[in-house]
Amino acid sequence: MKVSTLSLAAFFAVSCIATEELTLDKVEADIKTENLRNNLWHLQRIAKENGGNRAFGLPGYKASLDFVYERAVARFGKHMDTWIQPFNHTFEQTRKLEVKGPDGKPVHAITLLYNPATPLEGVTAPLLNTPVDDTLGSMCLPEQWTGVDATGKLVLIKRGVCAIADKLKLARKAGALGVVMYHNIPGTDYGSATLSAANIGQLVPVGLIPLEIGSAWAARLVAGEKLSAHLLVDSVFETRETWNLISETKEGDPNNVVMLGAHLDGVQAGPGINDDGSGSSALLEIMGSFKKYKGFKNKVRFAWWGAEESGLVGSLYYTKNLPEEEADKVRFYFNYDMIGSPFPFFRVYQGQNPGDALGAAPLYEYLSETAGKPAELAPFGTSSDYVGFLNIGVPSSGLFTGAGAPTDPCYHLKCDTLENIDWSALTANAKAAARAAAKFALSLEGVPPRNKTTVNVRGRAALLGQFQRWAKIEDEAEHNHSCAHKHQNVV
């Protein structure tokens, strides 16, 4: 059906005038499981239609952004001001990886993050065995390469103990064309690692094969056989543009803003329904509720962050680029990342800032007293988008239901689908979030101003250092939480 623009506008004008006063009970009642589920169904569909994910730099992220934008602008535009904040980040992806043995047949092999590419046709070269050192790590110290001439060769190295990037750096210095690395534990169920963006340009390509296969080749080389192997890595690293989406209530004091954030991107491995479709869906429903009401004393600003999975990139970009006087207006930040884990705990963040407790209290009280959930107050970690806000001293809180086994065994995996949600947990958390946001929309009484002495992150060098420090902590945190194939470790 085609509706003329004019009648559509008239329809919205009539149906969208907010006449009712905002209350906590009304927004809580507006949050419904079926609507939270419907949003997630769309995000899963978007992933399915775009290669299985909604990751930074790939079409599924753009489609997710379009989905939220359509809600914010086409449906809620009368009540919300929406803008897109573009930023750039280094995208990395291995499109193809192949290791063939001396018999010319492909063997099981996986890639590493930031794996440099071989020539398109791959490299076929003599295989050079290297000594194993399971104490210090194999071939990760310069002295372990003394007298090794790897010129024009593929080097066979055992994994373990030290950073893989160190092995690849030294292999490059020794003239190698690439490295065939074999795992240090038997079997094929091994995880990847990151070579890190910081090492771009300093490494040789690598393929990671099973221990059984690598040690068999090593034994043959030690026995004096001459073997060759084939390595093909088709990978890209390039700057790609991505976006944060920000939408705020037209009503409310622009000098006193309550922010709610969730990341809209996911990992490349799966559709990202709990991580963080859950938080993204909750924000959409809260926005859909708020647009019905008037009486906002303070503005409410919703943020869907981009490139969180690449190191909190979007939210850090936002907080770093917020002018001092704009940062002062952000009175509270709530973070909602993974709030529907299938075997949830109910963490309510409360950090060092005395203001945090004022946002944590309504979340905690609603969850424990009304929803009957075992809520617990917990300090902030380092692995979600609150980091930028803590850095600039904004009082903050948020919710988290757990990543990795036992709370979310599908963390960062293909199985993070609609089946990976505890609907009661997600609904309770979204209702708690709606109430807490409404409370602050009505009054920020008692909430202290931003603590400007928290960290000095304003100098350019300091900013970069801070970013790299957090990025490193983020990698570690991810490693610690991760349960399966997408470890962000470096060893």
From residue 177 to residue 196, what is the string marking binding to ligand NAG with x (rule CB under 6 A)? --------------------
Query: Nearer Cβ to ligand NAG, position 215 or 451?
Result: 451
- Contact flag: residue 446 with ligand NAG (CB under 6 A): no
CB 12 within 8 A of CB 78: yes
Q: Does the footprint of ligand NAG cover residue 480 (CB under 6 A)?
A: yes
Residue with smaller CB distance to ligand NAG, 241 or 376: 241
Handedness of CA 199, 202, 207, 213 (dihedral sign): negative
Using CB atoms within 10 Å of the CB of residue 382, give its burial: 0 to 12 exposed, 13 to 18 middle, 19+ buried: middle
Site membership for ligand NAG, residue 133 (CB under 6 A): no
Q: Are 271 and 277 contacting, i.e. CB atoms less than 8 angstroms apart?
A: yes
User: Are 135 and 161 spatial neighbours (Cβ–Cβ below 8 Å)?
Assistant: yes
Contact 134, 184 (CB under 8 A): yes
* Active-site residue identified among 285, 308, 309, 474: 308
Q: Say if residue 238 is exposed, middle or buried (CB neighbours under 10 Å; 0-12, 13-18, 19+).
A: exposed
Question: Which residue from 202, 352, 370, 443 is in contact with ligand NAG, where contact means CB under 6 A?
Answer: 352
**Distance in Å, CB of 407 to ligand NAG, minimum:** 16
- The nearest distance, CB 449 to ligand NAG, in angstroms, is 9
Give yes or no for a contact between 4 and 242, defined as CB atoms under 8 angstroms apart: no
Q: Among 9, 48, 86, 198, which residue sits at the site for ligand NAG (rule: CB under 6 A)? A: 86
When the beta carbons of 177 and 394 are compared against ligand NAG, the nearer one is 394
Beta carbon of residue 452, minimum distance to ligand NAG (angstroms, whole number): 8
Residue carrying structure tokens 């963080």? 276
Q: Count residues near ligand NAG (CB under 6 A).
A: 15
Dihedral, CA atoms, 352, 353, 358, 360, nearest 10 degrees? -40
Count the Cβ atoms, other than its own, within 10 Å of residue 480: 14
Minimum separation from the CB atom of position 214 to ligand NAG (A): 28
- Smallest distance, Å, CB 87 to ligand NAG? 5
382 scored as a contact of ligand NAG (CB under 6 A): yes
CA–CA dist 342, 406 (Å, integer): 9
For position 237 contacting ligand NAG by CB under 6 A, the verdict is no
Contacting range for ligand NAG; rule: CB under 6 A; set: 200-208, 217-225, 265-273, 476-484: 476-484
In angstroms, give the least distance from the CB of 80 to ligand NAG: 23
Among 322, 454, 485, 489, binds ligand NAG (CB under 6 A): 454
Give me the amino acid identity at 45: R
The verdict on 354 binding ligand NAG (CB under 6 A) reads yes
Known catalytic membership, residue 308: yes
- Burial of residue 293 (number of CB atoms within 10 Å: 0-12, 13-18, 19+): buried
User: 87 near 243, Cβ under 8 Å?
Assistant: yes
**CB-nearer residue toward ligand NAG: 128 or 444:** 444
Query: Hey, which residues are catalytic here?
Result: 308
Q: Which residues bind ligand NAG (CB under 6 A)?
A: 86-88, 239, 241, 352, 354, 382, 451, 453-454, 473, 476-477, 480
